[in-house]
Amino acid sequence: MRSVLALLYFSLLFTPSESAAKRSRLYVYTEHFPPYTVVTNDKEVSGSAVFTVKSALRMAGFEASIDIIPWARAYEMALTQPNTILFSMAKTQKREPLFHWLFKLTTLKYDFYTRGNTSLELNSMEQALLYTTVAIRGSYEESKLRSLGFEVGKNLVLVADMASAWQMLDKGRVDTMFASHTPTQQTDGKPANQYKRQSAINDTHELFVVASLTTSKKTIASLKRAFALLESDKE
């Protein structure tokens, strides 16, 4: 019922001229990041974050497809291009002034993962730095690892996407992966015991939907209202 009322609210809120302007194209980007974003057949997108973003876009009157591109490229687009939406992004002090933060999707705890059949045990960052790890180029994980002392060419390997990162670990090309959670049987066909979570670090961050700073104020306001109404609908 609240969703119906929310849609009615938006239909009354915008005049015809505003609605026409509001239909200017939005560019929406994400990456394969199950269970929040799940990509199948290289184009079909689902997941809890995707559902939330699509619902907000529809409620605010926007028609936009969600495109899957490498995170580094998507991040650069969100930094430089107007009308650009990106999710799911970890919020950091450095990133905070660079984007409009539209909606918090969830909070995640990050640590190092190893293959489930290894005897490797990591209980400190000093130990973790002795082994090679992998991260997605341009990601929060990359910036965090660099700040901890990891270096490309020494103990840090960068790849284009999440699937490639887990494959590096699976094939033994790296010793660990810094991540918030592992692939699952449901989303990636991998058994729960394939990976082991270590205890080298306690790092928690919130994941958001963001928009480029050059996106219009009206667009930002309408999207924030839509996300807020979706959130109130859960209560």
The pLDDT of residue 208 is 98
- Walk along the chain (235 residues) in steps of 10 and give the mean pLDDT of each run: 50 45 78 86 84 95 90 95 96 96 96 94 97 96 96 97 93 96 66 86 94 96 96 77
pTM metric for this prediction: 0.80
Q: What are phi and psi of 217, to 5 degrees?
A: -60, -35
Whole-number Å distance between alpha carbons of 235 and 213: 30
177 forms beta bridges with 113, 134
Return the SS3 of 84: strand
Task: Say if domain 2-107+206-234 classifies as CATH 3.30.565.10.
Answer: no
Q: Does domain 109-205 have CATH number 2.30.40.10?
A: no
Decide whether 2-107+206-234 matches 109-205 in CATH topology: yes
Query: Cβ(9)–Cβ(229) under 8 Å?
Result: yes
- Tell me which residue has tokens 């915008």: 14
Residues 170, 183 contacting (CB under 8 angstroms): no
Domain boundaries, the chain: 2-107+206-234, 109-205
pLDDT reported for residue 215: 96
- Answer for the pair 83, 25: CB distance below 8 angstroms, yes or no: yes
